[in-house]
Structure 1
Amino acid sequence: MCTGKCSRCIGGALFPLAVTSIICNILLFFPGWDTKYARDEHITEEVKYMGGLVGGGLMVLVPALHIHLTGKRGCCGNRCGMFLSIAFAAVGVAGALYSFAVAVLGLQNGPLCKVVAIWMTPFKDRSESYLTDRSSWSTCWEPKNVVEFNVGLFSTLLVVSGLQLVLCGIQMINGLFGCLCGTCNSKGPL
């Protein structure tokens, strides 16, 4: 496969991953599918870091666009475009790493929830992980099923950012080869 086609595939794969990351982060602002928690600022701290929106979303979406364009004929489908794709892919790596780190923290610390009458993060700084002890999840009274909600969305962000990291890393290598060897675009239609 030539470097141009590889760029198009990588760019095409990064688009849905970035959109998934953005959607997951937006959904995390509405635990229990209710807006009142966002209005009252009863949102898990890691959600406010916006790792999925900024890191895995915008910081990957912009590079995905350029990476995809390097696989086409025209202004970006040349050695210079492939060189620039290395820098854009590095931005994507940084965004994916940020999203990954925030997702790990979100899973490690657990959600902000109401325990009896106090809003707190009951699973933070515990010696054993709450992730393997489902019986402890009933500690959170409100929002309903907030532990499952956060675990599901932060796990999705973790997987998505991991895939973004791998794809952007591959593009950095592909961009290097494209910069040194060309994009195969001049040999005929893609």
Structure 2
Amino acid sequence: MALETCGSCLSCLLVPLALWSIVVNILLYFPNGKALHAASYQSPNHEWYFEGICFSGVMILLLAVIMIILECSVFYRCCQSESCNKTYRSFISIVLALLGIAFSGYSCIIFTLHLIQGPFCNSSSGWNYIFKDTAGGYLTDYPVWSKCTGPANIVEWNIILLSILIALSGLQLIICILKIAAELKRTLCGTYSVFVQAGIL
């Protein structure tokens, strides 16, 4: 019962997570939090893919808004029967939640790969991914961070923001899974109750 009741609030939880994903991803364009760096910083290719802004941001936000609208019966009715209407809306919500799993799951994987690869920074050999061959070992090898001479604190900035993005997309993934479970329970239990009532009659 708790899962069904919470099902309607899960979509609302996706909204702030999507907005935070957009904000945090934008901050990746401002190393060390300074706009001055953004103008001269040779931004790596992966940041122009807009994973955080597009997939775990705009797309998740769009899906959440549609699911919220579907949960408000005053906005949408597909058929005369109330049980049919609820079942149809639950089915659409499940499809949207599956898309949410795909978007957030993809973002989580990409952010993890970027974190393992390390930041794109300036070093004695020029601009490059100098930690890409460490398989993420640089994360705990603090002395090697000094190899990145610019922008200042780029390693810390990259690790913190990507870790936040991984957490946000991970939460989105969990919420979408819970949303599917809630809608399946609502649909199956609702269908079962209809069959029971029909059998009694």
Identity %: 35
Question: Alignment length, in residue pairs?
Answer: 183
Per the alignment, residue 199 of structure 2 pairs with none
Mapped to 1, the partners of 2:126 and 2:179 lie a distance apart of 48
Per the alignment, residue 59 of structure 2 pairs with 59
- Letter in structure 2 aligned against 1:80: Y
* Candidates 165, 171, 180, aligned match of 2:179: 171
Q: Report how far residue 36 of structure 1 moved.
A: 5.0
User: Deviation per CA, 1:78-118, whole angstroms, max 9, x where unpaired?
Assistant: 22111100111011111101210111111010111110361
Which piece of structure 1 moves more, 167-176 or 119-128?
119-128
Bigger proportion of residues as helix: 2
Q: Report how far residue 46 of structure 1 moved.
A: 2.7
Per the alignment, residue 29 of structure 2 pairs with 29
The CA RMSD measured in Å over matched residues stands at 2.3
Per the alignment, residue 87 of structure 2 pairs with 79
Correspondences of 1:112-131 after superposition (within 5 Å): 112-116=120-124, 118-126=126-134, 129-131=137-139
* Candidates 98, 121, 128, aligned match of 1:90: 98
* Candidates 77, 100, 105, aligned match of 2:113: 105
Change (3 A) 1:127 1:11: closer
Change (3 A) 1:178 1:3: farther
Change (3 A) 1:127 1:170: closer
Q: Report how far residue 47 of structure 1 moved.
A: 1.8
Q: Report how far residue 38 of structure 1 moved.
A: 4.3
- Letter in structure 2 aligned against 1:176: L
Q: Report how far residue 7 of structure 1 moved.
A: 2.8
Per the alignment, residue 156 of structure 1 pairs with 164
**TM score, norm. by length of structure 1:** 0.86
Change (3 A) 1:47 1:162: same
Matched position secondary structure for 2:177: helix
- Letter in structure 2 aligned against 1:49: Y
Mapped to 2, the partners of 1:83 and 1:178 lie a distance apart of 10
Contact 1:7 1:68 in 2 (8 A): no
- Structure 2 residues not aligned, in runs of 5+: 78-84, 191-201
Per the alignment, residue 16 of structure 2 pairs with 16
Q: Report how far residue 154 of structure 1 moved.
A: 0.3
Change (3 A) 1:179 1:70: farther
Matched position secondary structure for 2:56: helix
Contact 1:140 1:146 in 2 (8 A): yes
- Structure 1 residues not aligned, in runs of 5+: 183-190
Mapped to 2, the partners of 1:127 and 1:72 lie a distance apart of 47
Structure showing greater radius of gyration is 2
Mapped to 1, the partners of 2:159 and 2:95 lie a distance apart of 33
Contact 2:11 2:67 in 1 (8 A): yes
Contact 2:116 2:135 in 1 (8 A): no
Contact 1:37 1:43 in 2 (8 A): no
